[in-house]
Structure 1
Amino acid sequence: MDVDSTVKGYYEKILQRNAGEPEFHQAVAEVLDSLRYVLRQDPHYTDLGLIERLAEPERQIIFRVPWIGDDGQVHVNRGFRVQFNSVLGPYKGGLRFHPSVNLGIIKFLGFEQIFKNSLTGLPIGGGKGGSDFDPKGRSELEVMRFCQSFMTELHRHIGDKTDVPAGDIGVGGREIGYLFGQYRRMTGRHESGTLTGKGLQWGGSLVRTEATGYGCVYFTQEMMAARGERLHGARVIVSGSGNVAIYAIEKAQELGATVVGFSDSSGYVSTPDGVDVELLKDVKEVRRLRVSDYAKEATGATFHKGGNIWELEADVALPCATQNELDDESAKLLADNGVKYVTEGANMPCTHDAVRVFHKRHIDFAPGKAANAGGVATSALEMQQNASRDSWTFEYTDKRLQNIMRKIFKNAASTAAEYGVEGDYVVGANIAGFKKVADAMIAQGVI
């Protein structure tokens, strides 16, 4: 079998069937590129339309979301839920509320979620959803009315044994609360396992808020340890200032690193002496202000309007903002400024060209589907607690998160070595995630 021609054929067919969805194309291309190694050794994975089925969602739901603003005007947004693959368990993946959301972005996120969820070792399938609604600048009542309208349609497609959404960009504890309240109202059932990221008083899990950022740092620890190095004493850049970034900053500094910068869409803040995490939480989570406001109040912090955070000198970079935020030119800046490790806290924040630069410059690179799996892993732990009507301590849940991230790293590392590309965590994570899902699909037949 000519593997290169086979993979090219798969990709061309996927492009044709999914026109105008560049983020989805990018995610599929990365996985297919890794699968060349598998198909040469295990050609049976080309049978039964396996890869074509894997790249085609089981279900795509698009719906209208009408809601009334405080000014009395009717607004109409578009809602999405892509239920991609349930072979390992109920669909699991977040909801994103952001004006950039479209079907292609939701499909890219859902496709990535299949492999991410597989890597956790927990019984969850892959899905994703969201809307082009922007909660920024909206009142509490407007956000509530939107969430209630969104769930009025979505409730009929989800459930604790079917599809379990969580939060993502633009969907935090406030939004999950409004969504869950409307779910109860529409169904008449208190199925606490139907949504994760809930408040601690009504079914939420300790560590869930911190999990993605913490997990990203735990993965980085393992990657550095494989080179005989430690996070303690390292200088770290973190892009973004949302949930993932804040808790990546917190955990990195707890482990002895110095975070020298973070950002938002308006620019970045350089913090050569480290970040005042409590002030950052107050500015971003309580007062919902910009990073420039943090710089006004923090000692030793400088705001750089519209600058490139990747120009800072550091040892470790954690892109935690959004997809394709870090291109090849920024990757070259990182390499020139001494960065030796890059770990994706966001979903696909590094372009293909950036990843090629990392490999060329011998920078260890951890893909998001492995490194930011801590969020969905802890969501699955929340589902376990809900199912058993139990509640675990912060320490116990955090220890389980650390063990999951350690296992994901070891799985990606050993799989890469098995296929002759030791240290390539992209290939290792893609193959490890793929084989578990693919074997289950083969066992369950053509469905």
Structure 2
Amino acid sequence: MSHDITDVLERVLQRNPGEPEFHQAVHEVFESLAPVVQRRPEYLEQGVLERLCEPERQIIFRVPWVDDAGRVQVNRGFRVQYNSALGPYKGGLRFHPSVNLGIVKFLGFEQIFKNALTGMPIGGGKGGSDFDPRGRSDGEVMRFCQSFMMELHNHIGQYTDVPAGDIGVGAREIGYLFGQYRRITNAYEAGVLTGKGLAWGGSRARTEATGYGAVLFAQEMLRTRGESVDGRRVSVSGSGNVAIYAIEKAQQLGAHVVAFSDSSGYVVDEDGVDLDLLREVKEERRGRVADYVEARSSASLGTSGTIWDVDCDVAVPCATQNELDADGAAALVRSGVVAVAEGANMPTTRDAVAVLREAGVLFGPGKAANAGGVATSALEMQQNASRDSWTHEYTVDRLTAIMERIHATCLESAESYGDPGNYVLGANAAGFTKVADAMIAQGVI
């Protein structure tokens, strides 16, 4: 990292104390920018790096609601509108106890570059709450979402900021949020939220898009070596929406998916994951991975280590940030892993990325590999704007073309900066350059 970039990084870290995930995200991007800034010194001269690290707007608000026992509960809501140089803010809402301002800023910062890579006219933002929907009744979740939207509606709109779902925010939560927004505004503004139900403005293939996209990106990386996902042993961490559809797409492409996980442990199924059973356990029963093992004789519950100790050729981390550390990466390398594609946001630590890169493993960073979700959200916005609804096949074809284009962009960008095959450099450089050029063109704002 150059001296000038290091100076900017130090100032950013000092201005944002106590936010390790945000620090990690900024550091990871800045590490890639030395050759970019050397070629384009105006990015430093016009303060683009510092402006890019400062959100355009940070909103924190109280969310009071009443539980089923009649007790008043209070949570904290967040929306960070990070950068709108390319279009309206776009990024998900996360409902999880771990959510704080630093987490939301890291996610929003990553979202800027991810959205830029899609080629769609959308800026970066993120939001959420420390509310935990797990174990809550539908009534409690509804009342929380309605209270959350009472404040959030002041800051969003189809031309301003378009939230979507993330961890803890699925079809149920999006439905309650949209219903309250519609009630408050007295308008059917379908484009204000994405991830909606098909009957009321949603897009086909949106549910599948993030998981599908991560596997499609892995497929594109393997093709650069004349290889394929077909016949490969695959491990997918997590068992939520992204993981389930990553498993589905991998199986469609001929892979043998042998492992998945949740926060309680991991499962190894040598006969291959039974996707119907996994959906029943996680989506219908809202159960744990142990319930899958009880119903499946070929499956076993991991008793030691992590899912990364399971031998595989392709790994797709789809759970949460920093789930794959250096020890996990070393275990994957020993097992002969050839490709890792991030389905979650920043699930791989910086040390783990270094281990994978040193071993020659193809590594697709989340801002590229999991961009299929937000890309399809932008396609949903297009359909809403034109009062149209596309077929599943057409939408998946669009998603596939977008993921192929993102891969090609990252590959070409890395080669242009002298490090072929470095998808981290390629993604960061390409995403940053697009946003930085738009910021310069629009003046000091």
TM-score interval, normalised by the smaller of the two chains: over 0.9
**What is the CA distance between 1:111 and its match in structure 2?**
0.2
Letter in 2 for 1:217: V
Deviations 1:140-180 (A, max 9, x none): 10000000000000001000000000000000000000000
Q: 2:226 corresponds to which residue?
A: 228
Name structure 2 gaps, 5 residues minimum: none
What letter is aligned with 2:330?
Answer: K
- Other-structure match for 1:308: 306
Aligned match of 2:209? 211
Matching residue of 1:362:
360
Cα distance in structure 2, aligned partners of 1:352 and 1:207: 32
Number of the residue aligned with 1:167: 165
| Cα shift readout 1:386-413 (whole Å, capped 9, x = no counterpart) | 0000000000000000000000000000
Shift of 1:48: 1.7
Q: What SS does structure 2 have at the residue aligned with 1:156?
A: coil
Task: Tell me the residue number matched to 2:421.
Answer: 423
Q: Find the counterpart in structure 2 of residue 445 from structure 1.
A: 443
- Taking the TM superposition and a 5 Å limit, the aligned residue runs for 1:90-129 are 90-129=88-127
Amino acid at match of 1:365: F
Superposition pairs of residues 70-81 of structure 1, within 5 angstroms: 70-81=68-79
Maintained 8 Å contact 1:267/1:306:
no
Q: Distance in 2 between matches of 1:104 and 1:436?
A: 25
CA–CA distance in structure 1, aligned partners of residues 45 and 82 of structure 2: 20
Displacement after TM superposition at 1:45 (Å)? 1.2
Gaps (5+ residues) in structure 1? none
Partner residue in 1 for 2:341: 343
Query: Matched residues in 2 for 1:224 and 1:29: separation?
Result: 28
Structure 2 residue 240 is matched with structure 1 residue 242: yes
> How far is the alpha carbon of 1:307 from its aligned partner?
3.9
Q: For 1:134-173, what aligned pairs fall within 5 Å after superposition?
A: 134-173=132-171
Equivalent in 3, 6, 14 of residue 4 of structure 2: 6
The Cα shift of 1:306 comes to 6.0
Cα drift, residue 231 of structure 1: 0.7
Summarize the alignment of residues 384-395 of structure 1 with structure 2, pairs less than 5 Å apart. 384-395=382-393
Higher deviation after alignment, 291-300 or 171-180: 291-300
The alignment status of 1:16 with 2:22, answered yes or no, reads no
What SS does the corresponding residue of 1:237 show, helix, strand or coil?
strand
Q: Distance in 2 between matches of 1:396 and 1:112?
A: 28
- Listed one character per residue, the Cα deviations across residues 96-132 of structure 1 (whole Å, up to 9, x for unaligned) are 0000000000000000000000000000000000000
2:130 corresponds to: 132
Alignment match, 1:260: 258
Counterpart-to-counterpart distance in 2, 1:299 and 1:203: 41
Which of the numbers 388, 394, 397 marks the counterpart of 2:395? Answer: 397
Question: How high is the sequence identity, in percent, across the aligned residues?
Answer: 69
SS at match of 2:235: strand
SS at match of 1:228: coil
Decide whether the 8 Å contact of 1:341 with 1:365 is kept in 2.
Answer: yes
- 1:224-258 CA distance string (max 9 Å, x none): 00011011000000000000000000110111000
Name the Cα RMSD after superposition.
0.7
Alpha-carbon distance in structure 1 between the residues aligned to 2:246 and 2:444: 41
How far apart are 1:299 and its partner, in Å?
Answer: 3.6
SS in 2 for 1:210: helix
Query: d(CA) in 1 for partners of 2:424 and 2:98?
Result: 26
Number of the residue aligned with 1:197: 195
SS state at 2:7 partner: helix
Give the stretch that moved more between structures: 34-43 or 408-417: 34-43
- In 1, distance between residues paired with 2:360 and 2:316? 17
Residue equivalent to 1:176:
174
Question: For the residues of structure 2 that align with 1:345 and 1:329, how far apart are their CA atoms?
Answer: 19
Runs of 4+ in 1 over 4 A off after TM superposition: none
Distance 1:121 1:60 in 2: 25
Q: Deviations over 1:288-318 (max 9, x none)?
A: 1011101111241111246411111110000
Letter in 2 for 1:196: T
CA contact (8 A) 1:370 1:409 kept: yes
Paired residue type of 2:208: E
8 Å contact from structure 1 (residues 268, 307) kept in 2: no
The code of the aligned residue for 1:79 comes to: G
Q: Could you tell me the TM-score, scaled by structure 2's length? A: 0.99
What is the rounded CA distance, in whole Å, between the counterparts of 2:352 and 2:179 in structure 1?
A: 42
Letter in 1 for 2:63: V
Q: What is the letter of the counterpart of residue 51 of structure 1?
A: L
Aligned residues: 445
* Residues 268 and 306 in structure 1, CA contact (< 8 A), matched pair in contact too: no
Counterpart residue number, 1:296: 294
